[in-house]
Chain A
Amino acid sequence: MNEPAIQLQDLEVVYRVRGVDRPVLRSLSLTVEKGESYGLVGESGCGKTTAAFTIMRYLPRNGRVVSGSIHADGDDLLAMGEAEVRRLRASTVSMVYQNPGAALNPAIRVGDQIAEVFRLRGHDKGESLDRAQEMLRKVQISDPAGGMRRYPHQLSGGGQQRVVIAMALASDPTLLILDEPTTGLDATVEAEVLDLVAALRQEFGTSVLFISHNLAVIRKMCERVGVLYAGRLVEEGEAETVFTEPRHPYTVGLLRCIPRGGLRKDRDRLDTIPGYLPQLGAHLPGCVFADRCGLVKEICRTDEPPLHPLGNGHSSRCHFHDKAAAVPYTGSSIPAGAAATANGEGLVKLENASKTYSHEGSTVRALVDVDLSIAAGETLGLVGESGCGKTTLARVLLGLTPADEGSIIELDGRRLAARIVKRDAAQVRALQTVFQNPDSALNRRFTVRRIIGRALTKLVGARGEQREQRLREIASSVRFDERLLSARPVQLSGGLKQRVAIGRAFAGEPRVVVCDEPTSALDVSVQAAILNLLADLQAEEGVTYLFISHDLGVVRYLADRIAVLYLGRLMEVGRAEAVFNPPHHPYTEALLSAVPTLEGEERPRIRLEGEIPSASDPPSGCVFHTRCPRYLGAICDEQEPPLAEVERGHFIRCHIPVDELRRIQAEPPPPRVLQPTESNTTS
């Protein structure tokens, strides 16, 4: 009974690529005790998912366990035959994958999918269905009876993940492996799913192996944490200890990369981790982190450091663990950028900006009467859940999607045509963008030279030697090695690709650059470097940013002012500090409350119930009233509140008077009394 839920001992896993065995997990040992929640963190490519697949015995065909052992609840997992492995998956270990949409069978009703797990365990059909419905109730699906009959595509991403969790827990496993379970979800939904996992863990007493690249999520969810780097566990210990007193330079570096609450571009510069993850299967005789470590000495390159015990279960695989906290900063301590001071005339102005899509008779108002102005040299952060109209707003401004009649878009006091083809050359040049996914944004058939060069030719008419000259200048301003100009995107890492995309956006010396989630596809250490670069470029070129992100920490770091969108409507806009501190709109309050912090502080927790209503049928009155944690009463259902200036330059669209907001937001919210709702059938 006292066997650990899972115990990995000196596990070595290799992938065979082009006839050569390449190590992926290097002597990995870790133990998850019964009832414990263990977090495994690390950047992409460090072996997290391979560890999970090895435990599930799901290694791809070219993967192989070379040595070491895995014991699940005392049973030797690697010695098991196929039938035993199937039994193990059906009863002892369950896994929840990152993409819930792909984990569910789209052609089978969710009720039947969950019931199947019970059927496998020998229950008869009726009982299985009853139990499946009970599971749906436990994972807090509204209207479990109706939910049973739904197909996966009829559920939202959060709803699908609940169903997957229900299936995983249906077998009452000893160990639940969660592989990035909330990575594709909005912060508000993520918060709900995390709360749910925590609650279910209490109820079922399941051990959890929680895999994530998000340190704050791990901090919130796990008691113990292991930091994985290049397949080796470099630090392990209680979550609180590891995150507050990290003793390995990699952990220290990771923690410094994150733009956490309070860091601002005009005061602080984000630290980064130099270099790159070693190539898959590289021969690393010494410390795996030596090439990127600020403390590296001769011994690090020759001798593999042992896992030094530091007491209380904390251990670090570093020769100089006692100095780890003093790893030199990689960048200078000069602040990355300057706060915009000019509060003069807006460079960009949107008035009554609306966008309506019509589709088969129904109309969707993706953007509704947005009034916004951005001053020269300023960064305006745009936040909101997915589907709130952030990207539509950016496309309308850029002229890629024409705004509705009556929308006014101005640049420098001059009216811009709705469509980009109607704008003049100077206006086209003035507005550029950095896309979210550099793989999609760069033509994979072109070299970097051609990608940036074409922008130069087209936007500023540079040719020949002059163009080559500018090309080199741009490369150096985005810290991109000239020697790589003839490379194609496929040869570059994610961070380098994003630099090329940024270089292209800056080629025509734009006045305004729209950054649409430019770092959400990147690892934290790369994200830090890109954010620094964006701040540097702003300081050098005086460019204006419209910065879209779902990551509030990133927005807070970079933005001077913040606009909050909900269902295409502006709910709040104001200076960054004003928006982040009370009084703020109840929606903003909920967004902020949803984000787990690295400090692990307990904050009043506000959870939004339900999902974003459909934009084709928005709620009456204040569009937020169906989910509002500060719901007042009938007035919210009937009247849309105005966007009122509550302080200088700070606007909030809410019926609650600002003094009242200030007062109530200083204390935790009351539990919301649910109105009788028919949302069960409409979600």
Chain B
Amino acid sequence: MTVLEDPTAPIIIPTRDEAKIARRERIRLLMRSPAFVVGLIILAFWIVCAIFGSLIAPQNAQADDILNKLAAPSGDHLFGTDRLGRDVLSRVIEGARTILIMAPLATLLGTIVGTAIGLVTGYYRGAIDEVSMRVVDALLSVPIIITALLAIAAVGTSRLTLILVIGVVFAMIIAKTVRAAVLGERELDYVQAARLRNERSPYIMFVEILPNVMGPIVVEFTVRLGYAIFTIATLAFLGFGADPSIPDWGTDIGEHYSFISAGVWWAVLFPAIAIATLIVAINLIADSIAQTFER
């Protein structure tokens, strides 16, 4: 009787790394999506403005010119001037910096803290989960603007306060998303296998489970980024901008909307368009990324 080769001889798989291929495939799919590409172009434009604002801006965004205040758009001032005679175009260009620093920082803070909370509550369940989720529900029942206003009233307005407040509120929302994903993962047997090696809980949460819930976290980050921009602009509009002298879209709108009835539309419209394009761009990107993870 002949003995053939061991039936278990494995299929030889090309040694290319599947994860890398998957990542490349995802990027390829993204680049084929028009929504993503448009979003990316708009976002890139604002990032360039944020970094090189003062170089691109045709005039000094902070230079007053009282004699020439509230001038309509013209050859000298393409977007017109504001109530202090500052060039609106230059302020719109330089205004990108404030928001593109604060919003990502706030969102990143929220994502990191939220992920940690979500992992812990989802993994342990029980009393910790019960209590913290009720606290989260209570906090989220109050509109974020109100929470932010309360915090600002308590500790005073500053960039740091804004970032912290938005970060904390977002952390709650992101924690819920992450918790839901972790609840599914913890039932899988690889978690039991880790417990059978007597792994510590932090290892199980952050090394075993975390990589498997990265998809929802990335999606949540991009979605929240859009909301962060909206929230920061709103607070600035209400007069809680970080620093009145620095160009800021929300602050500028807030300072000029009362002039609209007098026919001065340009000082409000152009910063508003800037906010809208940035949020739309980020939402386009967020949607496209969410779709590639759903596949």
Instruction: Show the binding face of A for B, using Cβ within 8 Å.
Output: 272-276, 294, 328-333, 398, 400, 420-421, 423, 425, 428, 431-433, 435-437, 440-445, 454-455, 458-459, 479-481, 483-484, 486-488, 490-491, 493, 495-496, 499, 504, 508, 525, 529, 533
8 nearest A-B pairs in the assembled complex, by CB-CB distance:
A441-B189, A272-B7, A274-B7, A445-B211, A435-B189, A479-B8, A481-B10, A458-B197
Name the residue of chain B whose CB is nearest to the CB of A276. B11
Distance in angstroms between the alpha carbons of A606 and B139 in the assembled complex: 61
Q: Does A428 lie within 8 Å of B197, measured CB to CB?
A: yes
Category for how many chain B residues contact A: 20 to 34
Contact of B6 among A479, A483, A486, A493 (CB under 8 A): A479
Name the residue of chain A whose CB is nearest to the CB of B188. A440
List of B residues within 8 angstroms of A493 by Cβ: 11
List of B residues within 8 angstroms of A499 by Cβ: 8
List of A residues within 8 angstroms of B7 by Cβ: 272-275, 330-331, 525, 529
Known: A435-B192, A487-B13. A274 touches B4 (CB 8 A): yes
List of A residues within 8 angstroms of B5 by Cβ: 274
A-B contact pairs, 8 of them (CB 8 A): A272-B8, A332-B3, A333-B1, A420-B196, A425-B198, A432-B196, A440-B190, A481-B9
Q: Does A331 lie within 8 Å of B3, measured CB to CB?
A: yes
Answer yes or no: B154 CB below 8 A from chain A CBs: no
Distance in angstroms between the alpha carbons of A329 and B11 in the assembled complex: 21
Contact of A428 among B6, B189, B198 (CB under 8 A): B198
Known: A441-B189, A442-B190. A484 touches B10 (CB 8 A): yes
Q: Does A443 lie within 8 Å of B4, measured CB to CB?
A: no
Answer yes or no: B212 CB below 8 A from chain A CBs: yes
Answer yes or no: B294 CB below 8 A from chain A CBs: no
List of A residues within 8 angstroms of B12 by Cβ: 481, 483
Name the residue of chain B whose CB is nearest to the CB of A395. B192
Distance in angstroms between the alpha carbons of A588 and B171 in the assembled complex: 55
Distance in angstroms between the alpha carbons of A237 and B109 in the assembled complex: 68
Question: What does the 1/0 interface line of B3-44 toward A look like (CB < 8 Å)?
Answer: 111111111110101110000000000000000000000000
Distance in angstroms between the alpha carbons of A443 and B10 in the assembled complex: 20
Known: A274-B6, A275-B9, A487-B13. A400 touches B195 (CB 8 A): yes
Instruction: Show the binding face of B for A, using Cβ within 8 Å.
Output: 1-13, 15, 17-19, 188-190, 192-193, 195-199, 208, 211-212
List of B residues within 8 angstroms of A294 by Cβ: 2, 4
Known: A442-B190, A445-B212, A483-B15. A458 touches B198 (CB 8 A): yes
Known: A400-B192, A442-B190, A484-B10. A330 touches B18 (CB 8 A): no
Q: Does A330 lie within 8 Å of B197, measured CB to CB?
A: no
Distance in angstroms between the alpha carbons of A546 and B237 in the assembled complex: 68
List of B residues within 8 angstroms of A421 by Cβ: 198
Distance in angstroms between the alpha carbons of A495 and B9 in the assembled complex: 11
Q: How many A-B residue pairs have CB under 8 A?
A: 103
Q: Does A488 lie within 8 Å of B19, measured CB to CB?
A: yes
List of B residues within 8 angstroms of A444 by Cβ: 212
List of B residues within 8 angstroms of A490 by Cβ: 18
List of A residues within 8 angstroms of B196 by Cβ: 398, 400, 420, 428, 431-433
Distance in angstroms between the alpha carbons of A504 and B192 in the assembled complex: 13
Distance in angstroms between the alpha carbons of A487 and B17 in the assembled complex: 7
List of B residues within 8 angstroms of A488 by Cβ: 18-19
Name the residue of chain B whose CB is nearest to the CB of A419. B195
A250–chain B nearest beta-carbon distance, Å? 14
Q: Does A495 lie within 8 Å of B189, measured CB to CB?
A: no
Name the residue of chain A whose CB is nearest to the CB of B187. A440
Q: Does B2 lie within 8 Å of A529, measured CB to CB?
A: no
Distance in angstroms between the alpha carbons of A273 and B65 in the assembled complex: 88
List of A residues within 8 angstroms of B193 by Cβ: 433, 435, 441, 504
Q: Does B190 lie within 8 Å of A441, measured CB to CB?
A: yes
Name the residue of chain B whose CB is nearest to the CB of A332. B3
- Residue among B5, B19, B190 facing the most chain A CB atoms (10 A cut-off): B190
Q: Does B197 lie within 8 Å of A443, measured CB to CB?
A: no
List of B residues within 8 angstroms of A533 by Cβ: 8
Q: Does B189 lie within 8 Å of A496, measured CB to CB?
A: no
Distance in angstroms between the alpha carbons of A211 and B190 in the assembled complex: 33
List of A residues within 8 angstroms of B3 by Cβ: 328-332
List of A residues within 8 angstroms of B17 by Cβ: 486
B87–chain A nearest beta-carbon distance, Å? 52
List of A residues within 8 angstroms of B9 by Cβ: 274-275, 481
A32–chain B nearest beta-carbon distance, Å? 34
List of B residues within 8 angstroms of A495 by Cβ: 8
B64–chain A nearest beta-carbon distance, Å? 57
Distance in angstroms between the alpha carbons of A359 and B11 in the assembled complex: 48
Known: A428-B197, A435-B193. A491 touches B13 (CB 8 A): yes
Name the residue of chain B whose CB is nearest to the CB of A431. B196
A162–chain B nearest beta-carbon distance, Å? 30
List of A residues within 8 angstroms of B212 by Cβ: 443-445
Distance in angstroms between the alpha carbons of A499 and B6 in the assembled complex: 14
Name the residue of chain A whose CB is nearest to the CB of B3. A332
Distance in angstroms between the alpha carbons of A491 and B4 in the assembled complex: 25
Q: Does A458 lie within 8 Å of B199, measured CB to CB?
A: yes
Q: Does A491 lie within 8 Å of B18, measured CB to CB?
A: yes
Name the residue of chain B whose CB is nearest to the CB of A478. B8
Known: A479-B8, A487-B13. A459 touches B197 (CB 8 A): yes
Known: A275-B9, A440-B189, A490-B18. A328 touches B211 (CB 8 A): no
A398–chain B nearest beta-carbon distance, Å? 6
List of A residues within 8 angstroms of B4 by Cβ: 274, 294, 328, 330
A513–chain B nearest beta-carbon distance, Å? 11
List of A residues within 8 angstroms of B8 by Cβ: 272, 479-480, 495, 499, 529, 533
Name the residue of chain A whose CB is nearest to the CB of B190. A443
Distance in angstroms between the alpha carbons of A455 and B12 in the assembled complex: 25
Name the residue of chain B whose CB is nearest to the CB of A510. B196
Name the residue of chain A whose CB is nearest to the CB of B198. A428
List of A residues within 8 angstroms of B192 by Cβ: 400, 433, 435, 441
Q: Does B189 lie within 8 Å of A420, measured CB to CB?
A: no
Distance in angstroms between the alpha carbons of A436 and B19 in the assembled complex: 25
Q: Does A328 lie within 8 Å of B19, measured CB to CB?
A: no
Distance in angstroms between the alpha carbons of A436 and B199 in the assembled complex: 21
Known: A274-B7, A431-B196, A481-B9. 19 other contacts (CB 8 A): A328-B3, A328-B4, A329-B1, A329-B3, A330-B3, A330-B4, A332-B3, A398-B196, A400-B195, A420-B195, A435-B192, A441-B188, A441-B192, A454-B197, A479-B8, A480-B10, A481-B10, A491-B13, A533-B8
List of B residues within 8 angstroms of A433 by Cβ: 192-193, 196
Name the residue of chain A whose CB is nearest to the CB of B200. A421
List of A residues within 8 angstroms of B198 by Cβ: 420-421, 423, 425, 428, 458
Q: Does A455 lie within 8 Å of B197, measured CB to CB?
A: yes
A296–chain B nearest beta-carbon distance, Å? 10
A313–chain B nearest beta-carbon distance, Å? 32
Distance in angstroms between the alpha carbons of A214 and B117 in the assembled complex: 47
List of B residues within 8 angstroms of A400 by Cβ: 192, 195-196
List of A residues within 8 angstroms of B1 by Cβ: 328-329, 333
Distance in angstroms between the alpha carbons of A274 and B193 in the assembled complex: 30
Distance in angstroms between the alpha carbons of A593 and B196 in the assembled complex: 37
Distance in angstroms between the alpha carbons of A496 and B198 in the assembled complex: 25
Distance in angstroms between the alpha carbons of A486 and B17 in the assembled complex: 8
Distance in angstroms between the alpha carbons of A459 and B2 in the assembled complex: 41
- Residue among B4, B8, B197 facing the most chain A CB atoms (10 A cut-off): B8
List of B residues within 8 angstroms of A423 by Cβ: 198
Name the residue of chain A whose CB is nearest to the CB of B193. A441
List of B residues within 8 angstroms of A435 by Cβ: 189, 192-193
Distance in angstroms between the alpha carbons of A437 and B19 in the assembled complex: 22
A472–chain B nearest beta-carbon distance, Å? 15
List of B residues within 8 angstroms of A331 by Cβ: 3, 7
A77–chain B nearest beta-carbon distance, Å? 33
A326–chain B nearest beta-carbon distance, Å? 10
Distance in angstroms between the alpha carbons of A484 and B15 in the assembled complex: 8
Distance in angstroms between the alpha carbons of A274 and B188 in the assembled complex: 31
List of B residues within 8 angstroms of A491 by Cβ: 13, 18
List of B residues within 8 angstroms of A330 by Cβ: 3-4, 7
